[in-house]
Amino acid sequence: MSSRAPDRSDAVLGGQNSPPRDAVVLGGLAGAEQKLAHELRSRHQSIATEGWKLPAPIDPVRERGRLQLIAKGLSNRQIECQFTEPSPYLLSRLTARGRSDFDRDLSLLRMGQIVRNFPWDKTGRVALKTAVVLNIYEKTPDPNPHSKERDLCLAAIGPDRRSDEQIVKIGLTDLYAIDRNHRWENCPWLWTDKDTPHTELLGTNQHIATPENDRAMRSLSLLNEGKIEEALGLYGVILSTVLHQILGGGIVKNYYSDLTWRDLLVDTLRQSAPWKLPQAVIDEAARIDLWASQKKSRKPRLPLLKLALFPNQRYTHKTCLMLTENINDRHPQLIMQSSAINDRLHHTAWKRSISVDFARYGITIETD
C-alpha cells in the first residue's frame, strides 16, 4: 500500500485547512471523537472556566416517566378533525398550479394521521393555540403592493382553550409560514398515508445498523450524559464562547442571563437531532444564494436560524439561540443574537421525532 494512503488517524489529525461544510470525516466514530476532544480542549483553554460544570445527566427513571405521560396522552386523545371549505377569495388567489396542488393534497389528507401527530403539550394533550402548515401553494401577487406577503397554506389549526370544542380545523388559509414552529410540507408522512422514512428512526435500534446510526446513537447518549458540546461536535456543530459559558452555569456580562437561560439552552439542545443541524445550515445557505441571485441589489449573507428565545426578557429586541455558519471555518455554529422578528426554524428541521425517544425507552402508544 502506498505510504500516502490515509490510515485511521490521518483525516482526523491531519492538515489545518478548513473542510467543506458537508465534508465527511474518515477514521470512524473513534477518530471523530478523538478529533473533537482535542478541539474542545483547545477552545476551552482560552476561556475562563472557573466554576464551569457540565449539565447534570438525565435521570432515566424520570425521563421514562415523562415519556410515558406523553404516550398516555397521545393514546387517549379525544379530538377530531374537520375540513373547512375555503373562501372563494382565497381560492381565487391560487394559480393554476397552486389549485392543482391543493386539490391533490385534499385527496391525500388522512385525518387519523393528523390526530395522531398534531403537536402536544407536556401531558400528550393537543397543544393549544397551535397551527400546523401542511403545505404552501403558488399564488398570484398580493393586490396590495405595500403589504407583507402572507403564504397561502393548507393548515391544521387546533383549539385556543381547553374549554373549547376539541376540534382541529383543516383548510386553506393565509398566514406567515416563516413564523410557525410546525411545518410539515416536507414531512408528508405526518398527514398522509406515505410511509415514514427510516431516517426518522435514526439513533435507535429500529434503524438499519450503519455507522451513521452508531454515530447518532452515540450523540444522543452524550446528550443524556450532559456532554452537550461533544454530542453536537460529532456533527461538526460548535457553541460560541458565550453559549459555552452559559452551558457551564456562568453569568455572562452584558446579558441579563440567569440559570433559566442555561435550563433553556440545555433543554433545547437535548431535544435536537444533532445530525439535522448541518443540513439546516446547508439548506438555508442555498436558499439565500438563490434569493441573492434573483436581484443584483441583494447581497449574500450568512445563514441565521432562530431555534429558541431566552426567557425573562422585556425588550422588543430579545436574545435568541441562533444556528448559523462560522465565518472562519464554515462549521455550523450556535450563537446568541438579539432579534425583533418572529422568523424561526421549524421543529421538524432540527428536532428529532418523539418516536426516537419512545423507541429508545421501549415505550409504545396504544392505538385503536
Inform me whether the pLDDT recorded for 367 exceeds 80: no
Q: pLDDT at residue 3 above 50?
A: no
For the cut 60, the answer to whether the pLDDT of residue 362 exceeds it is yes
pLDDT band at 259 (very low <50, low <70, confident <90, very high): confident
Average pLDDT (23-52) is 57
How far, in Å, CA of 11 to CA of 21, rounded? 15
**Residue 191: predicted pLDDT:** 98
Query: Would you state the pLDDT for residue 35?
Result: 60
Other Cβ atoms within 10 Å of 153 Cβ, number: 26
Helix ranges (DSSP H) in 96-186: 96-108, 111-117
What is the three-class DSSP state of 368?
Answer: coil
Q: Which of 122-136, 211-225, 242-256, 309-323 has the lowest mean pLDDT?
A: 242-256
pLDDT greater than 80 at residue 252: no
State the pLDDT at residue 14. 43
Q: How many CB atoms lie within 10 A of CB 295?
A: 8
The residue that leads in pLDDT, 279 or 143, is: 279
What pLDDT, on the 0 to 100 scale, is given for residue 5?
A: 43
pLDDT at 365: 83
For residue 277 the three cell numbers come to 443541524
Question: Residue 91 in contact with residue 154, Cβ under 8 Å?
Answer: no
Higher pLDDT: 146 or 95? It is: 95
CA distance linking residue 182 with residue 346, whole number of Å: 6
**Cell numbers placing 287:** 436558499
Percent of the chain surpassing pLDDT 70: 83
Q: Does 162 have pLDDT greater than 90?
A: yes
- Confidence category of residue 361, pLDDT binned at 50, 70, 90: very high
Domain boundary assignment for the chain: 26-55+201-349, 78-195
Q: Which three cell numbers stand for residue 65?
A: 416517566
Average pLDDT over residues 229-253: 91
Across the chain, what does the average pLDDT equal?
Answer: 87
Closest CA relative to residue 321, chosen from 341, 311, 307, 303: 307
Q: Can you tell me the mean pLDDT for 331-347?
A: 92
What confidence score (pLDDT) does residue 206 get?
Answer: 80
For the segment 43-60, what is each residue's pLDDT rounded down to a tens digit? 554 444 567 899 999 999
- 147 or 167: which leads in pLDDT: 167
Q: What distance, in Å, lies between the first and last C-alpha atoms of the chain? A: 60
Question: In the prediction, which pLDDT does 70 show?
Answer: 96
What is the pLDDT averaged over residues 116-130? 95
* Cell numbers 389549485: residue: 99
Please give the Cα distance from 186 to 209 (Å, whole number).
25
Residue 155 DSSP class: E
Work out the pLDDT band at 2, boundaries 50, 70, 90: very low
Task: Output the pLDDT for position 25.
Answer: 53
When mean pLDDT is compared across 86-90, 328-332, 342-346, the lowest value belongs to: 328-332
- Kindly report, residue by residue over 278-321, the tens digit of the pLDDT: 999 999 999 999 989 988 898 889 999 999 999 988 888 899 99
- Which of 40-49, 76-85, 115-124, 249-258 comes out lowest in average pLDDT? 40-49
- Helical segments of the chain, H only: 10-13, 28-45, 60-75, 88-93, 96-108, 111-117, 211-225, 228-233, 241-247, 259-270, 277-293, 354-360
Angstrom distance (rounded) from CA 81 to CA 64: 30
pLDDT of residue 328: 85
